[in-house]
Amino acid sequence: MKKALKYVLGALIVTAIVIQFINRPERVNEPVTDNDIIQVLEIDGPMANMLKSACYDCHSDQPRYPWYASIAPVSWRIAEHIEHGRDELNFSKWGTYSARRRDHKLEEMIEEVEEGHMPLPNYVRMHGEAKLSDEQIESLKAWVNTERENIASESTEANN
């Protein structure tokens, strides 16, 4: 019995080591450009910091990688989140989005945050600073509403 346990443990350790070499996800790290939402919308300090600390690790071209992002299988999960997150919404590419897409993403931001889906709960567990207070959510909502109004009035102007 004891011997079997040793074999199982040994096999687990070997597996844990082997998987470190089979798939090392590439890291995302692109330079900040003028298309970043913070530049495009001239977002003020507190709101910019909030987006950076709560959203940019999965929704920008400059995610910060914690030390455990080097260790499989966690590294695979993190790479997946960053890939899917950026596919859906990339704040670094905001300047390239159409008015319609911007408006839709802004709307989704509030929905996702209010429902507690964003930032991803697993992420918040590891990143206390990403947990949004009710106050922060309120200021995010106010900011989103203003931006959506701006988009609406810009598009009426364009149609006139």
Which residues of this chain interact with ligand HEC, rule CB under 6 A? 54-55, 57-59, 81, 84-85, 88-89, 105, 108-109, 112-113, 118-120, 123
Least distance in Å: CB of 126 to ligand HEC?
9
d(CA 37, CA 51): 10
Judged by beta carbon, residue 6 or residue 119, the one nearer ligand HEC is 119
Judged by beta carbon, residue 72 or residue 124, the one nearer ligand HEC is 124
How many residues are recorded in the chain? 160
Task: Please state the separation of Cα 94 from the chain's center in Å.
Answer: 14
Judged by beta carbon, residue 11 or residue 115, the one nearer ligand HEC is 115
Judged by beta carbon, residue 14 or residue 114, the one nearer ligand HEC is 114
Q: Are 73 and 126 in contact (CB under 8 A)?
A: no
Least distance in Å: CB of 58 to ligand HEC?
3
Kindly report the number of other CB atoms within 10 A of residue 89's CB atom. Answer: 23
In sign, the C-alpha dihedral spanning 89, 94, 97, 102 is positive
Kindly report the number of other CB atoms within 10 A of residue 56's CB atom. Answer: 23
Least distance in Å: CB of 114 to ligand HEC?
10
